[in-house]
Amino acid sequence: MTKPPTARGLHVSLRTADGRSTASQRWLQRQLNDPYVAAARADGWRSRAAYKLIQMDDRHKLIKPGARVVDLGAAPGGWTQVAMARAGDRGRVVAIDLLPMDAVAGATILQGDFQDEAAEAAVLEALSGQAELVLSDMAPNTTGHRPTDHLRIMALAELALDFALKVLAPGGGFAAKVLQGGSEAEMMARLRRHFRAVRHAKPEASRKDSAELYVVATGFRA
């Protein structure tokens, strides 16, 4: 399914005895009332993020059957599951994350920093060649200081693009999480130099109140 049903049933509200809600309560309350969290559990996806890739792929046709796909920042594995399901048995998916991640049938899981020198070689070896698609849903740990968080996520997206430029086959695609505002325009300019078609995507599953946005580029000019 690409859209969760509208939230039905009880709306859960959490408050302390004096009626306030703490940050962790607000997070838990949002999880409990989020239809994508419930749908992911019912559909067997490891994360609600799986719907973001499903919706972007439905629209932009990124994951071709038989494709070789790299999933940067993959844990807990929702995007890896979707990429594997859509690339099919002939496809190859290589997922990498700093954190350990449970196996996804058919995919190669690497643990480490994608920026490590050895990572590029390990990914290419696991793919047995260049990639048709590089995905990045990477997010650094947030500091709570918005300008710093913005710079850090954009730096990761730029590095993901550097990585993609090295491993993509001609005609390949790239999709990465960025944050709205300032420096994301520079990245768009850079993408336009390397890809034939470049656009933004804000899938419905991406929370409206979040500055999160994705860049989607296709037609890599090698």
Q: Near ligand SAM by CB under 6 A, which window of 29-37, 68-76, 83-91, 214-222?
A: 68-76
Interface pick for ligand SAM out of 62, 67, 70, 138 (rule CB under 6 A):
138
Cβ of residue 93: shortest distance to ligand SAM, in angstroms? 12
Nearest to 176 by CA among 207, 193, 200, 142: 200
Instruction: For residue 146, give both structure tokens.
Output: 């918005």
User: Is 177 annotated in the active site?
Assistant: yes
CA distance 111 to 78: 16
* Among 22-30, 86-94, 113-121, 122-130, the segment contacting ligand SAM (CB under 6 A): 113-121
Asked whether position 54 contacts ligand SAM by CB under 6 A, the answer is no
> Closest distance between ligand SAM and the C-beta of residue 98, in Å?
4
Query: What's 72's DSSP letter?
Result: E
What's the CA gap between 122 and 109, in Å, rounded?
A: 11
**Least distance in Å: CB of 212 to ligand SAM?**
9
Q: Which of 63, 69, 77, 93 binds ligand SAM (CB under 6 A)?
A: 77
Which residues in the 153-212 window bind ligand SAM by CB under 6 A?
156
Query: Any idea what DSSP says for residue 22?
Result: -
Tally the residues of the chain: 222
Could you tell me the two tokens for 86? 């859509």
Among 39, 54, 75, 205, binds ligand SAM (CB under 6 A): 75
How many angstroms separate the first and last alpha carbons of the chain? 35
> Which range in 12-20, 67-75, 120-128, 186-194 contacts ligand SAM by CB under 6 A?
67-75
- The SS3 assignment for 125 reads helix
Alpha carbon distance 168, 172 (integer Å): 6
Where does this chain bind ligand SAM (CB under 6 A)?
A: 46-47, 49-50, 73-79, 96-99, 113-115, 137-140, 156
